[in-house]
Amino acid sequence: MRERTDYGSGFDDMALQGKVEEELKALGIPTEGVIIEKSAPFVEDLTLQDAVRPVDAGVQIHDYDAGTVCSLGFITQVTDPELGTFPGVVTAHHCTRTRGAADGDRFYQPSYSTSNYVGPEYLDSPFFTGGSCPPGSQCRYSDAALAYAFNVLHFNRGYIARTNSGIKHRPKQSKIQDHSGRRLPKSRRSGV
């Protein structure tokens, strides 16, 4: 009995069958041992640089005012005594136009377009001197800036997108845990 090996490739254009059979013969592979089937066209995976909906942490964002491209660090919920509770996104403050000052930079995912608008910069903590900061230096405790996440886009809080070949239509996601160790709930639109 001969061993059988299945390969998961097919063709959406059966006109290629003759060329494939010729190549198999040239390689010394008997064509009677091969089944050629019609399959759906190949769909390329999205990358972290594409428009990913709902928006996951880890995807590319664009600070239109600074002209920079960075990663969306994570999606959070912010409570402001004057503005109430709203969704927010955290990115690196070195990606903003003015480091150490929130001046309303506009963020988009993945690039500038009104349909890709994430929201404006909300918080970029100021630098400080003295105390634990070495003399003659300006210091911060983080490289983070916070932006409003307007509800124009749906945000997938609790997930980080990561590249993974074989996942169609969206990058694969990883669940993240909150500080208590509980698993965060899976989104209803996770696509995985």
**For the chain, which domains are there?**
8-42 (no CATH), 55-175 (2.40.10.10)
**What would the mean pLDDT of 73-96 be, rounded to a whole number?**
92
pLDDT band at 177 (very low <50, low <70, confident <90, very high): very low
Residue 173 has pLDDT above 60, yes or no: no
CA-CA distance, 186 to 190, in Å (whole number)? 7
pLDDT at residue number 62 = 96
173-179's contacts with Cβ under 8 Å and 24+ in sequence apart are 173/56, 176/57, 176/74
pTM here? 0.65
Rounded CA-CA distance 71/95 in Å is 9
Distance (Å, rounded) from C-alpha 67 to C-alpha 97?
8
So what's the pLDDT on residue 163?
Answer: 65
Alpha-carbon gap, residue 107 to 118, rounded angstroms: 5
Q: Is residue 101 predicted with pLDDT exceeding 90?
A: yes
What is the end-to-end Cα distance of the chain in Å, rounded? 39
* Strand-pair category, 155-162 with 106-108: unpaired
